[in-house]
Amino acid sequence: MQDAAPTLIDPFMRAITYLRVSVTDRCDFRCVYCMSENMTFLPKKDLLTLEELDRLCSVFVGLGVRKLRVTGGEPLVRRDIMRFFEAMSRHLESGALDELTLTTNGSQLRRFAGRLHAAGVRRVNVSLDTLDPDRFARITRWGRFAQVMDGIDAAQEAGLRVKINAVALRGVNDDEIHRMVEWCGARDMDLTFIEVMPMGDIGNEDRLDQYYSLKDLRRDLESRWTLTDLDHRTGGPARYVRVEETGGMVGFITPLTHNFCESCNRVRLTCTGQLFMCLGQDDDADLRAVLRATDDDEALREAIRGAIARKPKGHDFDYSRQRVDGTVSRHMSVTGG
């Protein structure tokens, strides 16, 4: 546990203790709610090097960040990414960092699960929206269902706790919610449903058509399962219930039907060094420029403190008027979810 008082406090007196860092905007899938099919990715010179990511994340840890989640794109497609995980493990060993975690599509877990566990990772979130192989191919466009299932097996074999994240998509996977609950319960994996968020141009897909309110989803779950509200928190925005019939937990991340901003303890660092203080706002701080201009970490600390001082009260995502309001222009893969 942390002894010192948190040093990053935003204007609304929220302690910032959780950093989500995107290590790449690239992915080996093209999920319909996340990317357009023909993406133009960032030139490699714009990306932070692994050493720069180490330096920035270490400064954040020194400022009181206790949880670090590595995201993408798909983080495990970045060349030599295990060097970064292995470097971050020193903060776990020192006690400065409580948790080092990963969000992944699961495609590379067979290759890396053992090394992730050795680096101190104990939990991974796997993004999986369907258990139907044909539907999986349609949602991910490029995805390989069998490879993801094998990756989940590998993660559990390595001793990693797996949580499944499923984006709720009306008319796409809304007929699978009971099957997902049953499957996760049988495998001792928690499950979190997420409302689709209005981020980036995704081609011919319609955000409003995709939107499946988790208020409706929970009501639909309660037609079959007994759900008991829990106080459990993992540091993120999910609210959890226990499914009495399976003993498993189901979480709900509801940026639209229930704004969770009042307890936000997170900021997001992109693979180009932009710090976004809110997932649903376009304001950012360019930490790459500071990082590359000086070897002085105090300058980085001051830039981070200045950014936190601009953290807004919340996002503006809104579908309530039957149109998509509060959109942001960047794709989810840029910010890292």
Q: Is residue 321 part of an annotated ligand binding site? A: no
On whether 14 is known to bind a ligand per the annotation, the reply is no
Distance between CA 115 and CA 156 in Å, rounded? 13
The C-alpha angle 179, 185, 189, rounded to 5 degrees, equals 110
* Residue 219 is assigned to a ligand binding site: no
- 33 appears as a binding residue in the annotation: yes
Q: What share of the chain is helix, strand, coil (3-state, %, to 5)?
A: 35, 20, 45
Residues 6+ apart with CB under 8 A from 90: none
SS3 29: coil
d(CA 193, CA 254): 9
Residue 69 in marked binding region: yes
161 is in an annotated binding site: no
DSSP letter string over 139-181? HHSS--HHHHHHHHHHHHHTT-EEEEEEEEBTTTTTT-HHHHH
User: Is 27 annotated as ligand-binding?
Assistant: yes
CB atoms within 10 A of CB 66: 20
Residue 56: name the closest of 317, 303, 325, 310 by CA.
303
Q: Is 115 annotated as a binding residue?
A: no
What three-state secondary structure class fits 266?
Answer: strand
CA 290 to CA 273: how far, in whole Å? 9
On the 0-12 / 13-18 / 19+ scale of CB atoms within 10 A, 207 is: middle
Tell me: is residue 271 an annotated ligand-binding position.
no
CA atoms within 13 A on the CB side of 63: 27
Tell me if 79 is assigned to a ligand binding site: no
The residues near 334 (Cβ < 8 Å, ≥ 6 apart) are 22, 25, 200, 270, 271
Strand order in the sheet with 274-276: 227-229, 239-243, 249-253, 190-195, 161-168, 123-127, 99-104, 67-71, 18-22, 266-269, 274-276, 284-286
The response to whether 319 counts as a known ligand-binding position is no
57 among annotated binding-site residues: no
320 is in an annotated binding site: no
The 10 Å CB-count burial string (b at 16+, else e) for 90-112 is ebbeeeebbbbbbbbbbbbbbeb
* Binding site, annotated residues for GTP: 20, 69, 103, 163, 266-268
Known binding-site residues for S-adenosyl-L-methionine equal 33, 73, 127, 197
Annotated binding site for [4Fe-4S] cluster: 27, 31, 34, 261, 264, 278
Residue list for the binding site: 20, 27, 31, 33-34, 69, 73, 103, 127, 163, 197, 261, 264, 266-268, 278
